[in-house]
C-alpha cells in the first residue's frame, strides 16, 4: 500500500521499511556500523542496505545493552552478572564497579528515546505500555515469524525479550512481536519495578519542542488542528521547517530476516506499507 511521504517518527511507529533503508542510504552504512560498535554490538554485521531491516543476527544481550545505553543518556555500561559478593554477616568481599563510557551525545540519545516512546504509545509496541510510566521500545518480527523481539526501557530499567526456537521455525503465520513479545516484556518490567515511583526521561537542554504537522513534520501554523508536539536538536535545520522529500513508490519484496524496520529523526521519506508489525 503506497502512502506517500511520511515522517521518520511515523515510519518507526508503524514499522514501515522503506524509509529505514533510505535513511541508512543517506547516513551511510559505515556510519551506522560505527554507532553499532560503539553501542556494544560485536556480532558480525553485513555491510549492505538490508542491515537497516535486521539482516544480520545479534544476541539478545548485545541488543539489550545497546538499548540500555540509550536509557542511560548515551552512556554505555558493559553487561555484568554479579553486582557484589558478600561473606558471613553481610561482609562485603567484592563489588563490581562498572565503567561508564559515553558513546552518544545525550541529546541524540533523547531523540531516539522520544521516537521509541511513540512506538509504544501509538505504534506496534502498544502492549508494552505501563500505565503511569514512560516506556520506550521497539518490536521486531523476522521473516516467517521465526523470531519475535521486544527491546525497551524505562528511566530505571532496560530489558529485552526474544521468543523463538533453537532450531528456527515459524511461531505461527499470524504471530507478531507486538502480540507476543511486548506483553512478556511489560509483565517482567512491571514486576521488576514493583512500587518504585515513576520518573520521566530526563530532557537535555540541547533539545526543544515544536508543534508540527504530523503528515510532513514541518512547523505547524498557530492553532492548526491536528498539530503534534515534536522534539528537535537546538540549531538543527528541522526547526526551520524542511520541505517534504519527493515521494517514491516501493517495489514489492520479501522482508529481510531479523526486523520490522526503524528510524531515527524527523525528516520526510517516501514509503510503502510493511507486511509485519
The domains found in the chain, sorted by start residue, are 4-79+98-271 (3.40.710.10)
CA gap 252, 229 in Å, rounded:
33
Decide: pTM greater than 0.75.
yes
Q: Which residues in 145-277 belong to E strands, given as ranges?
A: 147-153, 158-164, 207-212, 228-233, 268-271
CA gap 205, 68 in Å, rounded:
21
At 27 the pLDDT is 94
Cβ atoms of 52 and 24 closer than 8 Å: yes
CA gap 48, 27 in Å, rounded:
13
CA gap 118, 206 in Å, rounded:
20
At 166 the pLDDT is 92
The secondary structure element, H or E, covering residue 120 is helix 106-121
CA gap 27, 185 in Å, rounded:
31
Q: How much of the chain is helix, strand and coil, in % rounded to 5?
A: 30, 20, 45
Residue labelled with grid coordinates 525497551: 152
CA gap 28, 8 in Å, rounded:
17
Say which residues have a Cβ less than 8 Å from residue 88's Cβ, sequence separation at least 6.
none
DSSP for 3-23?
Answer: -EEEEHHHHHHTT-HHHHHHH
CA gap 9, 5 in Å, rounded:
12
Please state, as a whole number, how many other Cβ atoms lie within 10 Å of the Cβ of residue 89. 5
CA gap 124, 93 in Å, rounded:
45
At 237 the pLDDT is 58
At 138 the pLDDT is 98
Q: Mind listing the pLDDT tens digit of every residue in the chain (277 residues)?
A: 777 888 999 999 999 999 999 999 999 999 999 999 999 999 999 999 999 998 899 999 999 999 999 999 999 999 999 999 999 999 999 999 989 999 999 999 999 999 999 999 999 999 999 999 999 999 999 989 999 999 999 999 999 999 999 999 999 989 999 999 999 999 999 999 999 999 999 999 999 999 998 888 888 888 888 888 899 998 875 445 443 333 333 333 333 333 333 333 333 223 233 334 5
Q: What cell does 151 get? A: 527491546
CA gap 222, 90 in Å, rounded:
62
Amino acid at each position: 500500500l503506497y502512502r506517500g511521504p511520511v515522517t521518520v517518527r511515523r515510519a518507526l511507529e508503524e514499522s514501515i521499511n522503506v524509509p529505514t533503508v533510505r535513511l541508512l542510504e543517506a547516513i551511510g552504512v559505515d556510519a551506522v556500523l560505527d554507532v553499532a560498535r560503539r553501542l556494544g554490538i560485536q556480532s558480525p554485521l553485513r555491510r549492505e542496505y538490508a542491515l537497516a531491516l535486521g539482516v544480520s543476527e545479534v544476541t539478545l544481550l548485545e541488543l539489550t545493552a545497546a538499548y540500555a545505553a540509550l536509557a542511560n543518556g548515551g552512556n554505555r555500561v558493559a553487561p555484568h552478572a554479579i553486582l557484589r559478593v558478600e561473606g558471613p554477616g553481610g561482609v562485603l568481599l567484592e563489588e563490581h564497579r562498572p565503567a561508564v563510557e559515553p558513546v552518544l551525545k545525550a541529546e541524540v540519545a533523547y531523540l531516539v528515546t522520544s521516537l521509541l516512546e511513540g512506538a509504544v504509545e501509538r505504534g506496534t509496541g502498544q502492549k508494552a505500555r505501563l500505565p503511569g510510566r514512560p516506556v520506550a521500545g521497539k518490536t521486531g518480527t523476522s521473516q516467517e515469524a521465526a523470531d519475535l523481539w521486544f527491546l525497551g526501557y524505562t528511566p530505571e530499567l532496560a530489558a529485552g525479550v526474544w521468543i523463538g526456537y533453537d532450531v528456527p521455525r515459524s511461531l505461527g503465520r499470524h504471530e507478531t512481536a507486538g502480540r507476543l513479545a511486548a506483553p512478556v516484556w511489560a509483565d517482567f518490567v512491571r514486576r521488576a519495578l514493583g512500587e518504585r515511583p515513576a520518573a520521566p526521561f530526563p530532557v537535555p537542554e540541547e533539545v526543544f519542542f515544536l508543534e508540527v504537522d504530523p503528515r510532513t513534520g514541518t512547523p505547524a501554523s498557530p492553532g492548526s488542528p491536528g498539530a503534534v508536539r515534536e522534539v528537535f536538536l537546538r540549531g538543527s535545520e528541522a526547526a526551520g521547517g524542511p520541505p517534504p522529500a519527493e515521494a517514491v513508490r516501493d517495489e514489492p519484496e520479501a522482508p529481510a530476516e531479523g526486523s520490522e524496520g526503524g528510524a531515527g529523526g524527523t525528516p520526510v521519506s517516501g514509503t510503502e506499507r510493511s507486511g509485519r508489525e
